[in-house]
With several copies, the nearest count.
Chain A
Amino acid sequence: MSSLEQMYQQVIMDHAREAHGRGLKDLDLIQVGESHQVNTTCGDEIRLRVGLDGDTVASVTWEGQGCSISQASVSVLHELVEGESLEESERTMEAFRDLMQAKGEGLDEDREDLLGDATAFVGVGKYPARIKCAMLGWAAFKDALIQARKDQ
């Protein structure tokens, strides 16, 4: 498998083609946070909304345009964290960041388990310019969480 094919694995292509969580959901929750992030390389923008229900990440929806990597990544993010506990989400975020930094090498089994489908992004780590793309939704999620907690 070439590096290029490793980056654009089938899972990623599928998520990119049919992204999950797209469309900002109106939330009837007290703790809601939103974040707008821009990838300055290409002008791609994402707006992501998080709703917390106690310790649970009850809702993660988003809107925006982007490359297949950024779209697939936010789609996977939605799948991974919606419905999970805050704590688990934080761990997942951390694992994903580690994966991006791993220069194309995998992570240990525990963290890969945590990431599930998201381990397919391992190939992105070989392309520093694309890490930004993969991180766009995650950066928005991190920031939205902070906003949501502020509303406590």
Chain B
Amino acid sequence: MLLPDLREDFPLLNRTVRNGKPLVYLDSGATAQKPRVVLDAERDFYEQHNAAVQRGAHLLAEEATELFEGARTDVASFVGAGPDEIVWAENATAALNLVASGIGNASAGIGGEDSAQFRIGPGDEICVTQTEHHANLVPWQALATRTGATLRWIPVDSEGRIILDDLDSLVNDRTRVLAFTHASNVTGIISPVTALVARAKAVGALTVLDGCQSVPHLPVDVKALDIDFMAMSAHKMLGPTGIGALYGRKDLLDALPPSIFGGGAVKIVSMEETSWLEAPMRFEAGSQPVAQAVGMGAAARYLSALGMDRVEEHEREIAAIMRAGVAEIPGVRLLGPVGDADARDVIGVAAVVVDGVHPHDVGQVLDDAGVAVRVGHHCNQPLHRHFGVTGSTRASAHVYTTAEDAHAFVEALAGVPAFFGVNR
């Protein structure tokens, strides 16, 4: 069942775009639009309670701290974590880097014996998959460079599914970290988390989940998934720009050394040395993104109120419309699983390649029809290369996407080959 039309909650969705056309926003995989409650929460914070948190003794500081920590609790319960297992970060990329750099710093001696469990070096392995967004690939490449560890990856098949056949050799006794995405931002495929986590646990590797494309779109419970770390982005889950969060198991967070150093994260500082606070504070050096945290908390509450089960179902139906429609357009290829049976484990994303037309040109024609999609490699070059293309045109849904939006995308796409005189 589809959700009711939520357009009224989202001011931007009511504007018009090129040629006075109503906006059909299908770029939520890049960034989502914000409901009024999120904007109001931020504004109310600034107009009534803005102050530095956690350090002030005046009334405003108390109020600000309460709102800030309340937001942390909201985000934590949204993913089944404890409040002090949630660290604010600038975005999901920063959250993933926090783990990778923390391991790198531990390996460089920072954090001393307390952080020794994270040390890696030559002979150790870090494993990712071939379907990772750059944000969950490049930090691990850099960690490998820094430490001398080896980076390996699990390949995907022709539809983009992670191939589990060689899992036992790819994730082995030397593997210290297994980092993978929960859902692909290109194919929309949901990863086999259970199998991957089980194998990582069997060899004692840390698991790092990229939750960017799952947390906004389906129910996610970090304890049920039994992962060690997970990154998420506020702006993709109807929250503000400029903030994301890292979930980390408390005992791990308390031992991982920080990688951004400064005030608010430290216990005692002398000119010579410094001791860190516990998590999450040790990772939140400097003035925090307070208004943004408040906004992210409001977004988590908004999504919870809709019900993540219903959100998942809604987006699955939207995806089905888009995928079925695309399948009928001659000369258009869908990246990822094709056919009905597969729709079960795919989020609301449809990335397509139009034969003989470059994604940029496809996107332009769609834009002219008021349909906003993403073109290019979507920060996932290796997967596109695997599919034999440099880029694609991606439509991606969210809670506010309507069946009409999905149809509008299909219709506009159907006109593309003719516009460029191909496939005649």
Contact = CB atoms under 8 A, between A and B. Distances in A.
A69 B360 contact: yes
B359 A128 contact: no
Contacts of B66: 128
B174 interface: no
A152 interface: no
Interface stretch (A41-49, A80-88, A140-148): A41-49
A4 interface: yes
Given A38-B267, A65-B390, A4 B358 contact: no
Interface in B122-153: none
27 contacts: A3-B368, A8-B364, A13-B420, A17-B421, A38-B267, A38-B268, A40-B264, A41-B54, A41-B57, A41-B375, A42-B358, A42-B375, A42-B377, A42-B391, A43-B377, A43-B381, A43-B390, A45-B268, A66-B358, A67-B359, A67-B360, A68-B357, A128-B66, A129-B62, A130-B360, A130-B364, A133-B360
| Leading 9 A-B pairs by shortest Cβ distance | A67-B358, A67-B360, A42-B376, A4-B368, A43-B377, A129-B57, A43-B390, A42-B391, A128-B62
A5 to B, nearest CB: 9
Contacts of A40: 54, 264, 266-267, 277, 281
Nearest to B264: A40
Interface in A60-106: 65-69
Given A2-B368, A4-B364, A67-B360, A42 B62 contact: no
A58 interface: no
B48 interface: no
B388 to A, nearest CB: 12
Contacts of A3: 18-19, 368
Given A3-B18, A4-B368, A129-B61, A42 B361 contact: no
Contacts of A68: 357-358, 361, 420
Contact of B421 (A13, A44, A65): A13
A121 to B, nearest CB: 14
B381 A42 contact: no
B91 interface: no
Interface in B13-30: 18-19
B185 to A, nearest CB: 15
- Taking residues whose C-beta sits less than 8 angstroms from the other chain, chain A's interface range is 20 to 34
Contacts of A65: 358, 390
Interface string A112-152: 00000000000000011110010000000000000000000
A52 interface: no
A38 B56 CA distance: 16
A4 B365 contact: yes
Contacts of B360: 41-42, 44, 67, 69, 130, 133
B65 A129 contact: yes
A69 B381 contact: no
B102 to A, nearest CB: 20
B250 interface: no
Contacts of A41: 54-55, 57, 360, 375-376
A66 B18 CA distance: 24
Interface in A11-63: 13, 17, 38, 40-45
B249 interface: no
Contacts of A127: 57, 62, 364
Contacts of B266: 40
Contact of B364 (A7, A13, A44): A7
A121 B398 CA distance: 36
Interface string B163-194: 00000000000000000000000000000000
A127 B66 CA distance: 11
A40 B268 CA distance: 8
A119 B378 CA distance: 32
Give the interface centre of B66, B267, B281 by most chain A CB atoms within 10 Å: B267
Interface string B240-265: 00000000000000000000000010
Contacts of B358: 42, 44, 65-68
Given A3-B18, A13-B420, A69 B57 contact: no
A138 B5 CA distance: 47
Give the interface centre of B61, B62, B66, B364 by most chain A CB atoms within 10 Å: B364
A43 B384 contact: yes
Contacts of B18: 3
Give the interface centre of A8, A42, A127, A133 by most chain B CB atoms within 10 Å: A42
A133 B391 CA distance: 14
Given A8-B361, A40-B281, A43-B384, 16 more contacts: A2-B19, A7-B364, A8-B364, A13-B421, A40-B54, A42-B360, A42-B375, A42-B376, A43-B390, A43-B391, A45-B390, A65-B358, A67-B359, A67-B360, A68-B357, A127-B364
A15 to B, nearest CB: 13
Interface in B351-378: 357-361, 364-365, 368, 375-377
Contacts of B384: 43
Contacts of B376: 41-43
A129 B55 CA distance: 8
A64 B266 CA distance: 19
